[in-house]
Amino acid sequence: MNEVNKSEFWDNLYKINSVGWDLKTPTPAFIDLLKSEYFADKSKMLITGCGYGYDAIAAAKNNFNVTAVDFSETAIQFAQSLAKKENVKINFIVEDFFSLNDNHLNSYEIIFDYVTYCAIDPSRRKEYADKIYQLLKPHGVFAIILFPIEKRIGGPPFAVDVEEAANLFSEKLELVISTSEINSIKPRKGRELLQIYKKTNGKKS
């Protein structure tokens, strides 16, 4: 279990191209979100576990001010090269999400997560939710596509329980929407769900 807390574990998976979670394209549901009311009038965005950077690049092309973080140096190097080819500016960071320093606190109007929550050690999920809260600006939104929603042992990816996730994030954030009616790729239909949370005046009302 401890191996998922180490950058070497993830970097090796990218080096050997064992990245089954990678879609090789922007996440379809995220493309929809970029043009949605939930992201309207917001600019500064953080993408957690950005991998090869497809979502970050899509957001930058839609005029968002994007910071993207990943544990893997190999993934970030690929993402930087791709962003250069696509002629977009993105602040890529090779860093453990949990270690983002005080410069990032209360900084982001949007935080997006797809397949990061399921990759971390499940014992750190509350810590993850707390970190999301700390990084969001007041009135900021956290959008997460929960996947894989199923009951099984082992990982990564570790199985996701919707009720558990909602309870964790709702401790400090306000749940705005929870829906499975999203543009999922065929193999993941029925096993993922979009939730959007809001940070209300710096506190949960």
49: left (phi > 0), else alpha (psi -120 to 50), else beta?
A: left
17 or 163, greater pLDDT: 163
Q: What is d(CA 150, CA 161) in angstroms, rounded to the nearest whole number?
A: 7
Say which CATH class 25-46+53-67+97-198 falls into: alpha beta
pLDDT band, very low/low/confident/very high, at 203 (cuts 50, 70, 90): low
> Which pTM does this prediction carry?
0.94
- In this prediction, residues 107-136 reach a mean pLDDT of 97
Q: Is the pLDDT of residue 107 over 90?
A: yes
- 168-201 CB burial, b ≥16 within 10 A, e <16: bbeebbeeeeeeeebebeeeeeeebbbbbbbbee
Give the pLDDT of residue 33.
97
| Average of per-residue pLDDT values in the chain | 94
Inter-residue contact 146 to 161 (CB < 8 Å): no
